[in-house]
């Protein structure tokens, strides 16, 4: 059964780069033509879409984060990653990775458990 | 793109029906039949309950139904049960390969 697992530092200093990885277990990230996405949730607040990536490497970003964001995929390691530069306290959130359907407009049907990242000195 | 607008809270007694709205614009909810609804329990990941405006994934009870009128989508939970108490989020395709979420609605079963 396919599972997603987020990993990375739980604490990031302001102005540094927030980096997270989502490892796909129980299946190949490139065997099915899915989009793979990142969604975050600040403490006590709602969901915010960050972006997604296709196994081929084509990525789409939230306009509000685009200038600081890079999402990449490593099919050899069956994982995809997020890098958010110039982190501030407003980037403090639980970060979820998730699988969407075969196009960018399809829902996220499989989610990781989430990973809390705190931006603080 | 702005967040979709949802009421912050909704409530009902067991057995009743509750409807949650999700207001967008012509450029997102109004234009695309790509509205989804997610349920999230505290401390857990969201789970998709509705996709493509009205479709239920396998395993989602038929107590959950949804519709769309113009730029507003609706989620109805019928026969409310205690386990339905959770946060509910709508999302929509916003064009240009972006996704928009609503601010979320906390559903309380009284």
Beta-carbon-side half-sphere exposure of residue B93 (alpha carbons within 13 Å): 19
pLDDT at position B2, please? 66
| Residue-level pLDDT at B100 | 96
pLDDT digits (tens, 9 = 90+) for A66-113: 999 999 999 999 999 999 999 999 999 999 999 998 887 889 999 999
Q: Is A92 on the interface with B (CB under 8 A)?
A: no
Top-confidence residue, A31 or A7: A7
Q: Look at residue B40 and tell me whether its pLDDT is greater than 60.
A: yes
Cβ of B99 within 8 Å of Cβ of A37? The answer is: yes
What is the rounded radius of gyration, in angstroms, for the C-alpha atoms of chain B?
13
The C-alpha atoms of residue B66 and residue B74 are separated, in whole angstroms, by 5
Q: Which residue of B has its CA nearest to A61?
A: B98
Query: For A24-50, what is each residue's pLDDT tens digit?
Result: 999 888 876 789 999 999 999 999 999
pLDDT at A30: 84
Strand order in the sheet with B18-23: B18-23, B72-77, B64-69
Provide the pLDDT for residue A51: 96
Residue B63 CB neighbours (<10 A)? 14
Looking at residue A105, what is its pLDDT?
80
| Cβ–Cβ contact B8 with A under 8 A | no
Please tell me the predicted confidence (pLDDT) of residue A33: 78
Mean pLDDT on A11-34: 92
Q: How far apart are CA A36 and CA A71, in angstroms?
A: 10
Interface probe, candidates A105, A110, A116, chain B, greatest B C-beta count within 10 A: A105
Instruction: Count the neighbouring beta carbons within 10 Å of the beta carbon of residue A77.
Output: 12
- For residue B44, the model assigns a pLDDT of 98
pLDDT of residue A66: 97
Q: Indicate whether A115 pLDDT > 80.
A: yes
**From the CA of A69, how many Å to the nearest CA of chain B?**
14
Q: Which residues of B touch A98 (CB under 8 A)?
A: 45
Tell if the CB–CB gap between B98 and A109 is shorter than 8 Å: no
Of A46, A63, A113, the CB nearest to B45: A113
Mean pLDDT of chain B: 96
Chain A nearest C-alpha distance from B9 (Å): 13
- Sequence-distant (6+) residues with CB within 8 A of B48 are A107, A108, A109, B36, B37, B38, B57
**Percentage above 70 pLDDT, chain B:** 98
> How close A95 comes to chain B (CA, Å)?
10
* Across B99-109, average pLDDT: 97
Q: Map tokens 């490139």 to a residue.
A: A30
Per-position DSSP letters for A8-40, written without gaps between them: S-SEE-TTS-EEEEEEEESS-TTTS--EEEEEE
Q: In the prediction, which pLDDT does B1 show? A: 57
Q: Give the model confidence (pLDDT) of B50-89 as tens digits.
A: 999 999 999 999 999 999 999 999 999 999 999 999 999 9
Report the SS3 class of residue B56.
Answer: coil
Report chain A residues whose CB lies below 8 A from the CB of B96.
60
């Amino acid at each position: 059964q396919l599972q997603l697992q987020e990993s990375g530092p739980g604490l990031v200093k302001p102005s540094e780069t927030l980096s997270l990885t989502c490892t796909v277990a129980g299946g190949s990230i490139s065997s099915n033509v899915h989009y793979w996405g990142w969604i975050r949730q600040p403490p006590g607040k709602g969901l915010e879409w960050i972006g997604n990536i296709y196994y081929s490497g084509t990525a789409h970003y939230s306009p509000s984060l685009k200038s600081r964001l890079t999402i990449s995929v490593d099919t050899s390691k069956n994982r995809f990653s997020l890098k958010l530069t110039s982190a501030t306290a407003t980037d403090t959130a639980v970060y979820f990775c998730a699988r969407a359907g075969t196009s960018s407009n399809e829902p996220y049907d499989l989610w990781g458990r989430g990973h809390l990242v705190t931006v603080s000195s | 793109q702005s967040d979709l607008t949802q009421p912050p809270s909704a409530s009902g007694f067991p057995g009743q029906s509750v409807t949650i709205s999700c207001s967008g614009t012509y450029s997102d909810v109004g234009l695309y039949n790509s509205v989804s609804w997610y349920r999230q329990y505290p401390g857990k990941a969201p789970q998709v309950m509705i996709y493509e405006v009205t479709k239920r994934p396998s395993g989602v009870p038929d107590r959950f139904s949804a519709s769309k009128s113009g730029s507003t989508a609706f989620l109805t939970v019928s026969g409310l049960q205690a386990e339905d108490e959770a946060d509910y989020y709508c999302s929509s395709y916003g064009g240009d390969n972006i996704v928009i979420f609503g601010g979320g609605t906390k559903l309380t079963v009284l």
